[in-house]
Amino acid sequence: MKVLFATSECAPLVKTGGLGDVSAALPPAIAALGHEVMLLMPAYADMPLQGRITGWFPVPAEGPWPAAQLLRVDRGEGVPLLLLACPQLYARSGPPYADAAGVEHPDNALRFGLLSRVAALIGTPRSPCGWTADIVHANDWPTALAPLYLRQWRDAAGAADRSRIAASMVTVHNLAFQGVVPMDWASRLGIGGAYLGVHDGAEFWGKLSMMKAGLQFADAITTVSPTYAREIQTPELGFGLDGVLRTRADRLQGILNGIDTDIWNPLRDPLIEAPFSADRLAGKAACKAALRRTLGLAEDDKRMLFGLVGRFTEQKGIDWVIAGAERLVCQGGQLAILGSGDRALETALRALAQKHPQHVRVTVGFDEALAHQIEAGSDSFLMPSRFEPCGLNQMYSQAYGTPPVVTPTGGLADSVTDAAAPGGGGTGFVMQGGSQAAFDEAVARALACWKDTPDTWRRLQRNGMQRDFGWPASARAYVRAYTGILPGADADPQGAPALSYKAGTAAAEY
């Protein structure tokens, strides 16, 4: 099977969050199962690219689309990269979606419209790079127009050609971000009127929603945990798209992300002070001491160190951490926090650190090494997200013997077992709901467990470290899902009959 994995970020080239990690790890895991996989992403400025350019293909200008090039880069063992070069759209420094001040680029519809269109083209006989995918796998809104283009071209193709057009999957990594733009972009992006309906198309409250396009037209929809797959079908976490997702529930499934166990492995992590494992935890104590020294936190044996790495947003429950910090410190805790985002949250965190210089340290910014050191050196990891499609940090922390405190939502619910669960298989502390009181209660439980019952604590650590969070199981689930939608497959991954689509007034050419 030939799979094109289309994405807007991929670590270490460019990463704003978990999508970057997933794009780096999932395609090779699928390739390891014997499939041909290529990764398509934009050629942003300043990418730390390593590898050899082994192909150069023009993508001619056409209608509203500017001319672009595809560069094929081979990176030794990794999955080959297809970089979409169009300097006027992508050669900008900084994060992929916004300028340095955090203002979204006004031409994002065109930037990611082109990325989606080229992804879709690679799934057709008109592929510009001489390689045609059987499956085009889109990820989040920046590539979610690809399923719409493929559907539009499939509808316009004659019966003989239809099966030569790739099937599509869209993976929802975070439904909170949808790529909603004014409707007049639709014609500029070559989207036919038949694909813009509110019930069966991409219209969202009078605007064009790229995410909704993906959800409406993909042959399969996945999201990054089974619990989140259920949650997004409810008004509470559906961000206005729960109705569409309920309608397409027979095409939707949750596949839990994995973690890259080469990069996140405490026995072989070059970024941490000392290696350690479930059986040899001495190195972890050295990591804690080093982290405290680096951050200037008091080295008091009786104090438990809580870590947090992530985006400072409401999603991540940072406000609960801020409001609960005073109690946490009074009860004998310390906090090592790394992240950036919402300015008001940054300011509140800084004030907290100023008030408790011995016990709270906040580092604002993106720092890969410090993220590893916090995972390794903390006793427990805080992740009280209001919602969390999957979350990677709670899996990293379990692998690093750092039992996490989490909310019972999305991938957190699917990957952490509470310390009090029957059977002794606990790996962390699952809050009883999403609230300040639930956060405070879980933190108090973690503190008590760490201080009073060291044997139980070590069992939590060992259980977490022995869990298998590797990618192979997820990769196998993706391959099963691809197999169900391959052109010619008569059933979808859940065995439901193939949906029929209204042949529209699609543009006859692409």
Judged by CB under 6 A, the residue of 92, 117, 137, 173 near ligand GLC is: 173
Query: By C-beta, is 73 or 392 nearer to ligand ADP?
Result: 392
Task: Extract the tokens encoding 334.
Answer: 């310390």
In Å, how far are 26, 171, 398, 470, 473 from 264, measured between CA atoms? 15, 23, 11, 10, 17
Q: Are 406 and 416 in contact (CB under 8 A)?
A: yes
The partner in contact with residue 415, picked from ligand ADP, ligand GLC, none with C-beta cut-offs of 5 to 8 angstroms by kind, is none
User: For tokens 């060992």, what's the residue?
Assistant: 462
Query: Is residue 17 within the footprint of ligand GLC (CB under 6 A)?
Result: yes
Element at 230 (helix H, strand E): helix 226-231
* Count of all residues that appear for the chain in the document: 510
Q: Which of 191, 205, 210 is nearest to 109 (CA)?
A: 210
For the chain, the distance separating the N- and C-terminal CA atoms, rounded to the nearest angstrom, is 24
Judged by CB under 6 A, the residue of 321, 390, 413, 419 near ligand GLC is: 390
Measured between alpha carbons, how far is 365 from 371 in angstroms, rounded to an integer?
11
The partner in contact with residue 224, picked from ligand ADP, ligand GLC, none with C-beta cut-offs of 5 to 8 angstroms by kind, is ligand GLC
Query: Is residue 29 within the footprint of ligand GLC (CB under 6 A)?
Result: no
3-state DSSP helix/strand/coil percent for the chain, to nearest 5?
35, 20, 45
Interacting residues with ligand GLC between 272 and 331 (CB under 6 A):
none
Query: By C-beta, is 202 or 390 nearer to ligand ADP?
Result: 390
Query: By C-beta, is 297 or 371 nearer to ligand ADP?
Result: 371
Q: Count residues contacting ligand GLC (CB under 6 A)?
A: 14
Q: Which stretch binds ligand GLC (CB under 6 A): 14-22, 112-120, 283-291, 496-504?
A: 14-22
Query: Is residue 22 within the footprint of ligand GLC (CB under 6 A)?
Result: yes
In Å, how far are 170, 187, 382, 398 from 64, measured between CA atoms? 25, 9, 47, 49
Rg over alpha carbons for the chain, rounded to the nearest Å, is: 23
In the complex, minimum distance from the CB of residue 141 to ligand GLC, in angstroms, rounded to a whole number? 12
Interacting residues with ligand ADP between 297 and 316 (CB under 6 A):
309-311
Q: Which residues of 199-216 are buried (b: 16+ CB within 10 A; e: fewer)?
A: ebbbbbeebbbbbbbbbb
Q: Which stretch binds ligand ADP (CB under 6 A): 14-22, 39-47, 115-123, 501-509?
A: 14-22
The partner in contact with residue 123, picked from ligand GLC, ligand ADP, none with C-beta cut-offs of 5 to 8 angstroms by kind, is none
Interacting residues with ligand ADP between 364 and 393 (CB under 6 A):
366-368, 371, 390-393
Measured between alpha carbons, how far is 150 from 455 in angstroms, rounded to an integer?
56
The partner in contact with residue 371, picked from ligand GLC, ligand ADP, none with C-beta cut-offs of 5 to 8 angstroms by kind, is ligand ADP
In the complex, minimum distance from the CB of residue 259 to ligand ADP, in angstroms, rounded to a whole number? 9
Kindly report the backbone phi and psi dihedral angles of residue 203, in degrees, each rounded to the nearest multiple of 5, phi listed first. Answer: -75, 135
Query: Is residue 224 within the footprint of ligand GLC (CB under 6 A)?
Result: yes
Sheet arrangement for strand 429-430: 360-364, 333-341, 304-312, 380-383, 404-406, 429-430
The partner in contact with residue 367, picked from ligand GLC, ligand ADP, none with C-beta cut-offs of 5 to 8 angstroms by kind, is ligand ADP
- Amino acid identity, residue 171? T
Query: By C-beta, is 95 or 487 nearer to ligand ADP?
Result: 95
The residue nearest ligand GLC at its CB is 18
Query: Is residue 14 within the footprint of ligand GLC (CB under 6 A)?
Result: no
Query: By C-beta, is 168 or 174 nearer to ligand GLC?
Result: 174
Query: Is residue 338 within the footprint of ligand ADP (CB under 6 A)?
Result: yes
Measured between alpha carbons, how far is 234 from 387 in angstroms, rounded to an integer?
13
In the complex, minimum distance from the CB of residue 228 to ligand ADP, in angstroms, rounded to a whole number? 11
In the complex, minimum distance from the CB of residue 327 to ligand GLC, in angstroms, rounded to a whole number? 27
The three-point CA angle 490-496-499 to 5° equals 70
In the complex, minimum distance from the CB of residue 225 to ligand GLC, in angstroms, rounded to a whole number? 8
Query: Is residue 174 within the footprint of ligand GLC (CB under 6 A)?
Result: yes
Query: By C-beta, is 176 or 503 nearer to ligand GLC?
Result: 176
The partner in contact with residue 348, picked from ligand GLC, ligand ADP, none with C-beta cut-offs of 5 to 8 angstroms by kind, is none
3-state secondary structure 8-29: CCECCCECCCHHHHHHHHHHHH
In Å, how far are 333, 408, 413, 426, 427 from 463, measured between CA atoms? 23, 19, 16, 7, 6
* Residues near ligand GLC (CB under 6 A): 17-19, 22, 173-174, 224, 257, 388-392, 411
| Interaction site with ligand ADP (CB under 6 A) | 17-18, 21, 309-311, 338-340, 366-368, 371, 390-393
